[in-house]
Structure 1
Amino acid sequence: MMMNASGSGASRTQNQGGDISDIFTSLTGEAAADLPPCFSDLKKTIWNEDMLQSWKEVLEELKVAVEEVASRTQDMILRVSYDNIKQGLSESQVASIKKMGTVIVTGGVPQEEALGWKQSIRDYVAANKDCMRGFPADNIQVFELYNVPALVAACTHPALVNTQKALLSLWHASDPTSLNRIDMSTPMLYFNRLWIRLPGDAQFALGPHIDGGGLEHWEDPGLRKVFAHILCRTADKTWRDHDPFDMTPRLDAKQDLYNVSNQCSIFRPWQGWTALSSTGPGEGTLRVLPMLSLATVYLMLRPFFRPRHSSSASLKFGDWEPDTEGTAFPGSAMRKTQELNPTTHPHLALEQTMVSMPRVEPGNQVYC
């Protein structure tokens, strides 16, 4: 389930249907295609010499952040109770959520109610098995179901709505006039597909990725404004001033330039899911990279640098050089979401820093 903010938006052509594999290169096994020459031109347009200093600073800070995440693992993920939500989050809780970019909320939905939703979904699938669509087609685990009764019940549950209001309140507008265009106090329900993963499944295993556009992060001038302090430092603003919770620059951003099936075009302040089973680390649950701002800065700078020697595995600043001639935007492909792996984004040490969610029970909410 996604949580969205109410605001104005440009009209767009309705995209074609599909399934989740349409936007993940890793699910289809297709080789990454070279991008056309215009993407080299795009790099040259964005590039400035100050990026070198930003790159150097980010690599140094990543060393410390990687060590912290690798040592603390699940302890990096904040868990709050629904009572905390109702009473108001503390300053330290808000700071943790904004730094890590994720939170677990317990106690809002009774286990019995959540398990009832799960059984309702199973009954619905069984009754309509001849017309079910999803992925993988021969053994569906991601169902293209969006507004079945259980989903409606969950999305309108007071605990979920109140939690979403609390999380929406963490956003702000650097330009107060933005509030004339968007209402951050009213959650909009976005019915997402249903997932029921099977024990031991290896076929449907999404790797590290970022929703909300791929190449659009650099290609769309509006979306690029979100990362202005990262891409162009000034005398008084650097990448450290990047604010991922500022809604103002996001209002004119286009996250889908290619009208791709399964790609969302609206502003989604949070994504979330409600557990319908007991699931813990190593059991197919969600994994996250709990260093929101720092990882974002690295991601945005990464296309502009490459190893000095293609065979080198060194992560040292001196062993990397600017790259504005090549067309590569690592992990990015046209009409696809942004994916990451140890080869495309080596400094993130993803094998150590992608942290499995701590154990959740039916009715727990997870947001990121």
Structure 2
Amino acid sequence: MVEPMIRTLGDTRIPADVSAAISTTKNALRAQLCSPGDLAEVFAEVEDAMRTEVASVVAERDAGWAVIPVVRFADIAAGTVPGGTREAISRRGCAVVRGTFPRARAEAWDAELAEYLAENRFAETYRGPADDAFAGLASSQPQIYPVYWSRPQMQARQDDNMVLVRSFLNSFWRHESEGRSWFDPNRDTAYPDRIRRRQPGSGSLGLSAHTDSGSVERWLLPAYQRVFRHVFDGRWRDYDPWDGAYRTEVNEFPSTVMCSAFRTFQGWTALSEMRPTDGVLQLLPIPSAMAYLLLRALQPDLAEDDLCGAANGQSLPVSEKHHEVLLPALSVIPAVEPGDTVWWHGDLVHAVADGSNPDRWGNVMYIPASPHCAKNAAYARACGQAFLAGASPGDFAAEDYEVNWVGRATVDDLNRTGRAQLGLDEA
């Protein structure tokens, strides 16, 4: 694997000069592909494959077919998910799970969250975003709030239905490969995340297309180079976006937007009704598109220190300027009701559409799937200590709004699963 110029900070290696590291690594990765001609040939093949996949998504969408697969929680619980649905989730890398929670329970959580915020005067004390995760995106005004430890959030994370859904989703991944077991698909760890609350009539500029869990790291880190070894060796057809190999060994460069856990799926739980015209989540349902993104940044039309606009400490942008082949496939999720959950592969390109919800709230709790492995367990234990103190989790800016809040969840609100997810049952 390529070894860029680096220095060490704890267990994470940071380029001493990011621009120089990018230039050095790009040249090394190109050499790994043998010659400029080989790179051009491989990229042309990947681009043609993406054009075919994008055309398929657009044709199915225009025909009125569901390009975002939908599965009933009842079928997951009964083990009766149709084979065609499983195949669609594997191909598209995303799913809406109908009825993960009863509607009445989700609406009660929404009301309790509103009361929690009001009682603790969040609107009067909120200071605005404390990080620049989305600073590199053309549109970047999500209404996402740094609240982590409310009772509704804790109850949803530890609920048996949520555990079952996440186990179902993890089953799409190869958790054993390269002669190793990378994670336990049937055991959860906690990755406490935030909430979104969009008032009726509130306009939003949403978020431009991007991916999370690493920007420049996807090229610079040796562990990520191993994840994408087939792409960088020119054997892109062998790349399997569902192979967990080496993903649990990736440690991002420290920042307020890093992800210290391996998330098989990002996800959220709907607390209100949302319609496709409300300015909601859009997904690019092609998990193999990461191969295109990686090789696109090695093309000769870019400056040597440019990875298609990727910047350390920010989400990886996917833009018309560099990735116009992909963007026609960006598709809005179907209408959701309170209690539905929405999930997308950790590498999937996604966005939030501009728009407004004239007479509806647009509220969600962000809850991903982060299966048990040494990396995830270590982060979860740190989150357990943050929970006890009411502090912000380590991957997020240290805003610590909830330290002295009334009504914050306590250990007494956790069941056995909730305690285990946060490492609080460990000696």
TM-score (norm 2): 0.68
Residue 320 of structure 1 is matched in structure 2 by none
1:300 aligned residue? 294
Distance 2:172 2:145 in 1: 32
CA drift of 1:64 comes to 2.2
Query: In the superposition, relative to structure 1, how do residues 154 and 215 fare at CA in structure 2: closer, same or farther (>3 Å)?
Result: same
Deviates more, 1:60-69 or 1:40-49: 60-69
Q: Which residue of the partner structure matches residue 264 of structure 1?
A: 259
Query: Quick one: which of 323, 329, 345 aligns to 1:353?
Result: 329
Q: Paired residue for 1:4?
A: none
The share of aligned pairs that are identical, in percent, is 28
In the alignment, which residue of structure 2 is the partner of 1:113?
105
* Aligned counterpart for 1:253 among listed residues 234, 244, 250: 250
Q: What is residue 28 of structure 2 aligned with on the other side?
A: 45
Q: Does 1:192 align with 2:193?
A: yes
Normalised to the residue count of structure 1, the TM-score between the two structures is: 0.78
Amino acid at match of 2:88: S
Matched, 1:167 2:169: yes
Q: In the alignment, does 2:306 pair up with 1:328?
A: yes
Distance 1:260 1:199 in 2: 33
Task: Report deviation, 1:11.
Answer: 7.0
1:185 counterpart SS class: strand
Deviation at 1:250, TM superposition (A): 1.1
Whole-Å separation in 2 of the counterparts to 1:51 and 1:342: 22
Is 1:81 equivalent to 2:72 in the alignment? yes
The match for 2:5 is none
Cα distance in 2 for partners of 1:152, 1:204 equals 29
Supply the AA of the counterpart residue of 1:171: W
Q: Aligned pair in 2 of structure 1 residues 182, 60: CA closer, same or farther (>3 Å)?
A: closer
Q: For 1:51 and 1:87, how far apart are their aligned partners in 2?
A: 48
Question: Is the 1:51–1:232 Cα contact (8 Å) retained in structure 2?
Answer: no
Does residue 100 in structure 1 map to residue 102 in structure 2?
Answer: no
Range with greater deviation from structure 2 (194-203 or 267-276): 194-203
Q: Give the partner amino acid of 1:214.
A: S
Change (3 A) 1:229 1:336: same
Is the CA contact 1:135–1:141 (under 8 Å) kept in the aligned structure 2?
no
Asked if the contact 1:135/1:142 (under 8 Å) is kept, the reply is no
- Partner of residue 363, structure 1: 339
What displacement does 1:35 show?
Answer: 6.2
Structure 2 equivalent of residue 182 of structure 1 = 183
Residue equivalent to 1:239? 236
Q: Deviations over 1:76-135 (max 9, x none)?
A: 111011122123334332221121110011123111100000001100111112575464
Indicate the RMSD between aligned Cα atoms, in angstroms. 2.5
Residue 58 (structure 2) aligns with: 70
2:377 is matched with which residue? none
Bigger drift between 209-218 and 297-306 goes to: 297-306
Q: 1:202 to 1:329 in 2, by over 3 A?
A: farther
Structure 2 distance, partners of 1:303, 1:72, is 29
1:132–1:143 CA contact under 8 A, matched in 2: no
Offset of 1:155 from its aligned partner? Answer: 1.2
3-state DSSP class of the match of 1:367? Answer: strand
State the shift of 1:176 in Å.
Answer: 6.4
> How many residue pairs get matched?
312
Unaligned 5+ runs, structure 2: 1-8, 131-140, 345-427
